Every structure is written in C-alpha cells, then in structure tokens.
C-alpha cells in the first residue's frame, strides 16, 4: 500500500505581474527568492526580465491582507548583470535567485544563475539586509576522482542551500547545497553531444547535493563558492518529471525530515535552446531524511500543482509552475512560484495528514 504524501499545495492567485509600460519588466516578473529583512517585513526578490531577455533581481515588500500574501510594493533593483561572467553574447542575466538565511553565518545566501559568455552557471552573493548584496563569484567544484567528473565543465542551475548545517557523509559539519548539472554541451559547441559521467545510470538532469565545510565558511564566507563531495540525490522517476527535475525553494524542516519542493518537466527539449516552448513544468515534492538528507524517504508520484490556470498556461514560456520560495506567516507556510515565466503566484502549503499517520 502506497502512503499518501503528507503535504498539499493550494493556489491562492497572482501575487505580482509586470507593470504596464515598465521596460525593465517587459518580458515578465518570475521565479522569486524571498526573505525577512531586519525590519521584520517579508520580501520577494523577483527576477525582472527586460526586452532582449536581460534579467535583474528586484526587491518587493509583500503586502498582507488578513494575514495572507496579496500584493507587493516594489523597492527597486538589488542585483543586475554587471560582471563579465553575467553577460552573454546573446543576452545577459542574473536569474532565478534562491535565498536561504543561514543563521550560523548571520547572512542571507543567494544562489543565482549567472548567464555569461558560456551560458548558465551558478553564482553566489550574500547580504545582511536583502538590499546590499556582495558577490562572491561563480561556483567552483572540487574534482572527485571516484565519480570521474568535473562538474565545473557543465551548465548548472536550480541551486539552493539548506538553512542549517548537517553532518556530511564523511562526518564533517557542513552546509549542504542542492544543484542540477546538465550534460548537454550543444549550447557551447554546436553539434556536440551530451557527455555525462560514464557510471551515471540516468543521463537526465537530476538533483545533486554537494557540501561546504562549515569551518571553512565561518573562516571565510567566500568558501560558499567551493563545493565538494558530490552525490546524486534524485533522478526523474514519475511521468510528470520524465525529462528532468530540479530543486525549488530551500528545504524546510518538518517532523518527517526535510521537505523539498521541486519541479518536474515533461514534453520535448530542443538541444541548445535555453528558453523552451514545448515543455510543461509542474511542482512536486519529496521528503529527505533529517540526518542524511541525501536519502529520499518519499516523493510525490503526481504533481502537487500543475499549470491549470490561464496565468500558468499562457505567457513567455507556456505551461509553467516553478516554485522557488517558501515563507511562514503566523505559522502558515506560503509558496511563491513562477507562472508561465511571466507572473508570480502564491500557494498555501499545508499538511494533508498528521505526522505518523
């Protein structure tokens, strides 16, 4: 007998959409990070896309109505593509941020996609107030001879840190980070084929985990950009994620362990094309072991949220539900997600069953 997944998502509506006539938002507001500022207010950090697919990261205060996120008040741009490694030949971008407040370091840690000359790679920035961000630079990967892979060669997206240290497989107190390497090299070298590690049983883009020693990060926050001890956490398994999966918001501690929302993709991927039009993104979830979060305890065989409304079906990229942030308001968790790469929606995350049932 299959145990029902103990959490549900209920959509509440559109939270943020492009301002008419605002050139900085001409191609959408989407895929936000989130956090609480020193003032105690709740903020979104949305991806703002200007004409030509140029992405910036903004800041917007979430406005509550009867305790529920209902709208936003924009407060400007906090990160824009200014470095050479954030500016590609065809477009430029600081894209799809995820923000985790790591209490041990006393900072908000942002992972974001730097769309540079060779395509999308993960970069890191940190902040104490969500407004002023210090770039730490692109991520580098320790070479793992046992895995026979240099992850630094490949595009990597959908990265997010856990909010608290865990004990890594080697017994070291570490900060764990999820990421999603992609083996397709045709975007860099036309005609090139995918070159995943030979031992990998499933070549589809999957969720990996790497680690940063806590001691190193405490000594120098720039250690957050140096990831090691890599391993696969989860590959596509169910029909709604048959093409690829990727992590969503920072994992949330729950009685069962860690709750991770993720996206699953179906449809047809065109090699070398960054902005696909013939795919369908839906939101799923999995429970990870509390002590060993690289172990998956349970996952959703079907989506918790699919592209079913007009706002989710019609946009810059149709048929997209893309969860990227979770926040609590008066004990209730809300998920913020991209809608068709054009708007930002909000959904309520609830327990479907009591712990242990």
Q: Which residues sit opposite 77 in a β-bridge?
A: 58
The answer for residues whose C-beta is within 8 angstroms of residue 265's C-beta and 6 or more apart is 241, 242, 243, 244, 245, 279, 280, 281
Q: How confident is the model at residue 271 (pLDDT cuts 50, 70, 90)?
A: low
**Do the beta carbons of residue 346 and residue 331 sit within 8 Å?**
no
Per-residue pLDDT of 13-49, as tens digits, reads 999 999 999 999 999 999 999 999 999 999 999 999 9
Per-residue pLDDT of 191-247, as tens digits, reads 677 778 889 989 999 999 999 999 999 999 999 999 999 999 999 999 999 999 999
**Do the beta carbons of residue 176 and residue 209 sit within 8 Å?**
yes
Select the more confidently predicted residue: 188 or 238: 238
- What's the domain range around 60? 7-351
CA distance 90 to 82: 15
Q: Which residues sit opposite 349 in a β-bridge?
A: 9, 333
CA distance 34 to 160: 12
Q: Is residue 262 part of a domain?
A: yes
Tokens 């696909």 -> residue: 276
* 226, containing H or E segment: strand 226-234
- Helices (H), ranges, 173-271: 214-219
Q: What total of structural domains would you count in the chain? A: 1
Q: How confident is the model at residue 92 (pLDDT cuts 50, 70, 90)?
A: confident
Mean pLDDT of 280-299: 98
Q: Is residue 60 part of a domain?
A: yes
Q: Is residue 357 part of a domain?
A: no
CATH code of the domain in which 287 resides: 2.115.10.20
Q: Is residue 191 part of a domain?
A: yes
Q: What is this structure's pTM?
A: 0.95
Q: How confident is the model at residue 354 (pLDDT cuts 50, 70, 90)?
A: low
Q: Is residue 356 part of a domain?
A: no
Query: Which pLDDT value is given to residue 356?
Result: 54
Q: Is residue 127 part of a domain?
A: yes
- 65 exposed, middle or buried (CB, 10 Å; 0-12, 13-18, 19+)? exposed
CA distance 168 to 230: 10
Query: Which pLDDT value is given to residue 304?
Result: 98
Mean pLDDT of 61-81: 97
Structure tokens at 248: 């969503």
Query: Which pLDDT value is given to residue 2?
Result: 61
Q: Is residue 2 part of a domain?
A: no
Nearest to 327 by CA among 64, 58, 30, 49: 64
Mean pLDDT of 127-145: 96
Q: Is residue 281 part of a domain?
A: yes
């Amino acid at each position: 007998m299959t145990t029902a997944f103990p959490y549900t998502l209920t959509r509440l509506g559109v939270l943020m959409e492009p301002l008419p006539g605002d050139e900085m938002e001409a191609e959408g507001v989407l895929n936000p990070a989130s956090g609480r500022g020193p003032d105690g207010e709740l903020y979104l950090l949305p991806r703002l896309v200007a004409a030509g697919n140029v992405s910036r990261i903004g800041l917007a205060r979430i406005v509550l109505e009867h305790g529920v996120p209902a709208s936003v008040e924009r407060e400007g741009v906090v990160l824009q593509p200014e470095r050479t490694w954030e500016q590609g030949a065809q477009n430029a971008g600081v894209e799809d941020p995820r923000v985790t407040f790591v209490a041990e370091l006393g900072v908000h840690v942002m992972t974001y996609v730097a769309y540079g000359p060779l395509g999308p790679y993960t970069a890191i920035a940190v902040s104490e107030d969500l407004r002023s961000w210090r770039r730490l630079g692109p991520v580098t990967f320790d070479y793992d001879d046992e895995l026979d892979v240099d992850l630094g060669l490949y595009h990597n997206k959908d990265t997010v840190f856990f909010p608290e240290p865990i004990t890594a497989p080697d017994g070291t107190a570490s900060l764990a980070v999820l990421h999603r390497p992609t083996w397709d090299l045709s975007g860099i070298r036309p005609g090139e084929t995918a070159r995943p590690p030979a031992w990998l049983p499933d070549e589809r883009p999957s969720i990996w985990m790497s680690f940063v020693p806590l001691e190193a990060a405490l000594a120098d926050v720039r250690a957050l950009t140096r990831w090691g001890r890599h391993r696969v956490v989860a590959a596509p398994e169910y029909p709604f994620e048959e093409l690829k999966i990727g992590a969503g918001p920072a994992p949330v501690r729950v009685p069962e362990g860690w709750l991770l929302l993720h996206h699953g993709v179906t449809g047809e991927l065109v090699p070398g094309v960054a902005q696909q039009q013939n795919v369908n993104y839906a939101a799923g979830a999995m429970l990870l072991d509390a002590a060993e979060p690289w172990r998956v305890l349970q996952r959703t065989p079907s989506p918790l949220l699919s592209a079913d409304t007009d706002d989710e079906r019609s946009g810059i990229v149709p048929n997209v539900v893309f969860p990227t942030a979770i926040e609590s308001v008066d004990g209730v968790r809300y998920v913020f997600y991209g809608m068709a790469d054009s708007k930002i929606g909000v959904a309520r995350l609830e327990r479907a069953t009591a712990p242990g049932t």
